[in-house]
Amino acid sequence: MNMHVPGTPRAARRARASQDVLPPSMNIAVIGAGYVGLVTGTCLALLGHRVTVVDRDAERIAMLHRGEMPIHETGLAERIAEAEKLDFSTSLPSAVAAADAVFICVGTPPNPVDGHADLTQVHAVARDVAGALEGRTVVITKSTVPVGTGDEVEEIMRAVRPDGDFAVVSNPEFLREGVAIADFMHPDRVVVGTDEIWARDAMAAIYAVITTAGHPLVFTSRRTAELTKYAANCFLALKITYINEIANLCEEVGADVEDVALGIGLDSRIGAQFLKAGPGFGGSCFPKDMLALMKTAQDAGMPLRSVETAVAVNDARKGEMVRKIIRAAGGSVAGKTIGVLGLTFKGGTDDMRSAASLVILPQLIKAGARIRAYDPAGMANAKALLPGVEMAASALDAANGADLALVLTEWSEFRTLDLKRLRRTLRQPVLVDLRNLYEPAAVAAAGLSHIAIGRPGAAFPHHAGISPQDVPGRWPQAMARKARMPADLARA
């Protein structure tokens, strides 16, 4: 593995011979107009490249041409509008034929039979891309794929074009939903897996603006890059699982998980991120990536016991939350109304994949509860997934006349909710806060009973060296600085 920050390449590309110097602006095709594809294509265009995002869904492409967004991602619509060199198309052959580089950004959902990542779409795109290539092209797998997928993609493409002048590269994404634009434009690192020198040069040209700004470009082998993505996501999921178990212990011994997380997160060896106790991790990445890595490790005869345990603990977490909610309701939710704040797996997105709400709310309904919910972005996607859940127009509307309010997602607008008004809205003064959005003292002052995660009812103590101004919600800015997190994540 090596790392460098290359300068911007010069001269023109045309003959695509091995000695060519690539231009600062390249023709790029991005296959897949989903979450990763749209963010990747938009950001590459903002870097100055000529980008065509391709998808076989004609309606999705028509929406994008109309300026409508098929996904919710903060700042994406505005950035697409700014990207003058960005286009959308349903024609893969024409986009690929004109491309210096092709990014494969299609889905790899878990196979329900064996837990492996389903590579059907990746393999199909590889065949289609191979048939459309003209001249030297670098083919980049951006989708999250198991170790060895790059070898499979190359084999498929060689079968179609034995003499094709191309290289298959792994370039995994490390995007967080809600701040994906910032993550792409200001990455902690860009990982590139290839042994082809000319392909490394091409990748350096693609990311030249980013690396010139000081963000590291890490070159390694293709298989190492593929494993790095899974290893990173699974490690973060392990941190979440760990702090959730510590939260359980805090409830038994009278400690405060928020203070524990602060105390360990300020340690530079540990870091603050992903130490927020809650109802368990979800989304499009962590659950499926952990299953895929588990299966890969098992097939290799090297099972990852820590990952296997984290998956089991996270699955059980939702049931624990259901029992907590029922206890808060007095031991039964039968005939009671629960006002739910948040449905998506996290704030800042409309993504319902593996959201805690998909497990918790059906179990509450089965126990006899009436559910009325509000989410700032996810209700359209949630309706089909949560039959029996009534959708509300606002957080207070969801809580109106309810026997308890339940916070499931950490949306920013919920942090500033008027708790005294919430108390007046509820039939019973009970707030179950599964995201620890609120300080116990503030909730008590509003006249509400506060059931949180891993917290006693005591007020938040002042920590030496950290003033009240350092505490936005709960996490001190000092912690963010210690973890080297940019203060302006939305600056991209």
Does residue 9 register a pLDDT over 80?
A: no
Whether residue 473 has pLDDT greater than 90: no
**Band of pLDDT at residue 396, cut at 50, 70 and 90:** very high
Sheet holding 404-407, edge to edge: 389-391, 370-374, 337-341, 404-407, 430-433, 449-451
Mean pLDDT of 262-289: 95
Per the structure block, which two tokens stand in for 251?
């409830």
pLDDT single digits (tens) 14-68: 333 334 555 579 999 999 999 999 999 999 999 999 999 999 999 999 999 999 9
**Three-class HEC string of 240-305:** HHHHHHHHHHHHHHCCCHHHHHHHHHCCCCCCCCCCCCCCCCCCCCHHHHHHHHHHHHHHCCCCCH
Is the alpha carbon torsion for 393, 395, 399, 404 positive or negative?
A: positive
- Determine the average pLDDT of the residues in 201-222: 97
Model confidence band, residue 114 (pLDDT cutoffs 50, 70, 90): confident
DSSP label at 75? T
Contact 111, 98 (CB under 8 A): no
**CA distances in angstroms from 197 to 19, 29, 192, 204, 262, listed in the order given:** 10, 21, 12, 11, 45
Banded model confidence at residue 458, pLDDT cuts 50, 70, 90: very low
Res 199: pLDDT: 98
The Cα–Cα gap between 153 and 131 comes to 13
Percent of the chain scoring above 70 in pLDDT: 88
Sign, CA torsion 33/39/44/46 = positive
What pLDDT is stored for residue 457 in this prediction? 52
Residue with the bigger pLDDT between 453 and 14: it is 453
- Which comes out higher in pLDDT, residue 489 or 213? 213
- The strands making up 50-54's β-sheet, listed across from edge to edge, are 2-4, 217-220, 190-193, 166-170, 137-141, 101-104, 27-31, 50-54, 86-89
Q: What is the pLDDT of residue 468?
A: 32
Q: Could you give the 3-state DSSP secondary structure of residue 98?
A: coil
* Tally of CB atoms within 10 A around 90: 16
Do residues 208 and 178 make contact, with C-beta atoms less than 8 angstroms apart?
A: no
d(CA 395, CA 414): 8
CB 177 within 8 A of CB 351: yes
pLDDT score recorded for residue 480: 41
Distance CA 455, CA 257 (A): 6
Do the bridges between strand 217-220 and strand 2-4 make them parallel or antiparallel, or are there none, so unpaired? antiparallel
Instruction: State residue 464's pLDDT score.
Output: 37
Q: Cβ of 236: how many Cβ atoms within 10 Å? A: 17
Q: Which helix (H) or strand (E) holds 120?
A: helix 120-132
Output the six-digit token pair for 285.
């990445």
pLDDT above 70: residue 383: yes
The secondary structure of 184-216 as a DSSP string is HHS-S-EEEE---HHHHHHHHHHTHHHHHTT--
pLDDT band at 3 (very low <50, low <70, confident <90, very high): low
CA distance 313 to 365: 23
Global pTM value: 0.85
- Lowest average pLDDT, out of 7-11, 90-94, 446-450, goes to 7-11
The two structure tokens encoding residue 471: 């505490």
The span from the CA of 134 to the CA of 262, in Å, is 55
Average of per-residue pLDDT across 414-433: 97
What percent of the chain is modeled with pLDDT above 90? 85
Mean pLDDT (the chain) is 89
Contact 29, 19 (CB under 8 A): no
Which comes out higher in pLDDT, residue 443 or 482?
443
pLDDT at 2 over 50: yes
Domains of the chain: 2-220 (3.40.50.720), 231-479 (3.40.50.720)
Q: Which of 160-164, 282-286, 445-449 is predicted least confidently?
A: 282-286
Catalytic residues: 285
CB half-sphere exposure, 186, CA atoms < 13 A: 12
Q: pLDDT at position 113, please?
A: 77
pLDDT digits (tens, 9 = 90+) for 310-345: 999 999 999 999 999 999 999 999 999 999 999 999
Quote the pLDDT of residue 314: 96
Residue 308 has what pLDDT?
Answer: 97
